[in-house]
Structure 1
Amino acid sequence: MTAQHRIDAYWNGRAPSYDEYVQRPDRFADDQRAWSEIWSRALPDPPLDVLDVGTGTGQAAMVLAGLGHRVTGIDLAEGMLERARRHAAAMADGPVIRHGDAVHPDFPAASFDAVTSRYLMWTLREPEVAVANWIRLLRPGGTVAVVDSTWFPDGLPETPGGLADHYDDQVRAMLPLAAAQSIDQTVAVLEKAGLDDVTVTPLTSVYELDRRFGVAPDHEHQLQFLVTGRA
C-alpha cells in the first residue's frame, strides 16, 4: 500500500461520519451562508469554470455551484466521492464529481478560471508540484483559492486508532504542511509555485460558528484562513 493509498483508506472510512458532521441540521444553514460569503469574496463573479480539488464530500463544490459557477470536483477517496455524488445529484446544476488526483489533475491546460480547495493543503503530498499543475489549468488571470488552518502545529497525533493508524511515518514524510505552525507556510508554497498577489484572509465567521456550535470530535477550536493567488 502506497502512502497515498493509506491516506485514501483513512478518508474512505471517515466519509460517513465526516459527511454527517458537515450536514448537521443545527448549523447547516449558518454554514451555507458563511461559506457562500467566503467563496463569493474569493472568486470573481459567476459563472466561472471551477475545479475543486480534494473535494471530499463536496461541501465547497456544492456551495460554489449554488453561487452559479460551473464546478467539477475531484478526489481519490471513493468513500468521499460517493457522498459527493449523492449531494450533487440532488441539486439542479450541481457539480460534476470525478475520481481524480489533486496533485496531477487530468485536464487540458487553460480549462478553468479558478481552482479551489477546502481542508486539503495539510494532507497534500508535493504541494508545490500540485499548485504548479493547478496554475497550468488556469486561464490567464485565473485564481487559486484554498482554505485551511494549522491543525497540527505540534505534530500529527501518534496515539493508535484513527488518524495515526493511516498517517504513519511514510505518510507524514510526504506531507510538508501537515504540521505547519503558521499559515505563512501555505502562503510560501503558493508563491514559490508561481502565483502572484497571494493574500491571506482570517475566516472569523467560521471561527464564530465553531464557537457557537462546537467543533468536530478530536478537533480544537482554531482560526481558519482563506489564501488566494492569481495566475
Structure 2
Amino acid sequence: MSERTDERRDIVGDGPVPARVDWDAQAASFDEEPDHGLRDPGVRAAWAERLRSWLPQPPGDLLDIGCGTGSLSLLAAEQGHRATGVDRSPAMVERARAELAGRDTVLLVGDAAAPPVREGCFDTVRVRHLLWALPDPGRALLRPAGRLVLVEGVWGGVMPVGIPVDRLTMLLGPLTHHIRIERLSGDDRLWGREVNDERYAVVAMV
C-alpha cells in the first residue's frame, strides 16, 4: 500500500481499526516488499505488462494517487506517460523524487482524498491499495477525464481489511460507462510469491 492514513477504516468489518504507523519512518524499507520496490526483474516485468494493458495509448497525463516511493510512476514514465504522483508521506515523496529524477514527472505531498492538483487535467487516475483506507473512497474517484485504474483487494483472515470488488464497482456505477475487472490473486509474478487473498484491478472509463 502506497498511501496510508493514521486511522484506517475496516471496510469489510464493523468499525475503525487503529493503525498508528509512522510512514515516514517506513519509507527506507518500503521497497523491500517485492510489489513495492519492483526490484526483481520478473515482478517488474509483470507490473509493466499490466500497466501497458491498463493505461491509454498514446501516452497521456497520469495522476498516481498514493504513489509511495514511485515505482509504478516510474514504470508509467518509462512507457511515455507524464506522471504526477501524490502521497501524504514527505519521506516517501522524497524517495520517489530521487527514483524519478530526470523523468517527465511531478511528485507532490498531499492528501489522497483531496490531491493538490486541478481536476479534469489528467487522462488517467491510478490508485493502488488505498481506497479501502479512505473514509469516503468515492471522493478520490471523481478526477480523471478518461479512465480510472484501481488496484485493490481484501487482506487478512481474522479481521480483514479492504474493499471487495462488488462494493468498488457499486461506487463506480454512477461515474462510469464501462468497467473491466481483472483478478490478480492468481498471478504470483505480481507479488513475488503466492497469495491467497482477494486482489484485483478495475479499469473504468469515466
TM-score, normalized by the shorter chain, greater than 0.5: yes
Question: Deviations 1:168-217 (Å, cap 9, x if unpaired)?
Answer: xxxxxxxxxx444x32122222224x12212211126743454xx437xx
Aligned amino acid, residue 168 of structure 2: T
Q: Letter of the 2:121 partner, please give it.
A: S
| Residue 144, structure 1, aligned to residue 148, structure 2 | yes
- Residue 226 of structure 1 deviates from its aligned partner by 1.0
Q: Which amino acid in structure 1 is aligned with residue 149 of structure 2?
A: A
Alignment counterpart, residue 191 of structure 1, candidates 173, 177, 181: 173
- Partner of 1:45, secondary structure, is coil
Q: Which amino acid aligns with 1:45?
A: Q
- Aligned residue in 2 for 1:77: 89
Quick one: distance in 1 between partners of 2:105 and 2:72? Answer: 10
Structure whose CA Rg is larger: 1
Give the residue type in structure 2 aligned to 1:99: V
Q: Distance in 1 between matches of 2:123 and 2:183?
A: 23
> How big is each residue's C-alpha offset from its partner over 1:152-179, in whole Å with a ceiling of 9 and x where there is no partner?
36425xxxxxxxxxxxxxxxxxxxxx44
Offset from partner CA, 1:125-144 (integer Å, 9 cap, x none): 31012212x2xxx23xx001
How far apart, CA to CA, are the structure 2 residues paired with 1:8 and 1:83? 22
| Distance in 1, Cα, partners of 2:80 & 2:185 | 24
Write out the 4+ residue segments of structure 1 that deviate beyond 4 Å after TM superposition.
3-9
Shift of 1:114: 0.5
User: Corresponding residue for 1:170?
Assistant: none
Matched residue of 1:20: which SS?
A: coil
Q: 2:193 corresponds to which residue?
A: 214
- Against the structure 1 CA distance between its residues 42 and 230, is the aligned structure 2 distance closer, same or farther, given a 3 Å change threshold? same
Which structure: greater helix fraction?
1
Q: Which blocks of at least 5 consecutive residues in structure 2 are unaligned?
A: 8-18
> How many residues align structurally?
190
- Secondary structure, counterpart of 1:115 in structure 2: strand
Superposed displacement of residue 116, structure 1 = 0.4
The TM-score with structure 2 as length reference comes to 0.80
For 1:184 and 1:101, how far apart are their aligned partners in 2? 25
Residues 187 and 214 of structure 1: CA distance in aligned 2, closer, same or farther (over 3 Å): same
1:201 to 174, 182, 203: 182
Do the aligned partners of residues 32 and 4 (structure 1) sit closer, same or farther apart at CA in structure 2, a change above 3 Å counting? closer
| 1:44 equivalent in alignment to 2:56 | yes
Q: Distance in 2 between matches of 1:5 and 1:222?
A: 24
- Percent identity over the alignment is 28
Distance 1:86 1:204 in 2: 31
Residues 146, 86 of structure 1: alpha-carbon distance in 2 compared, 3 angstrom cutoff: same
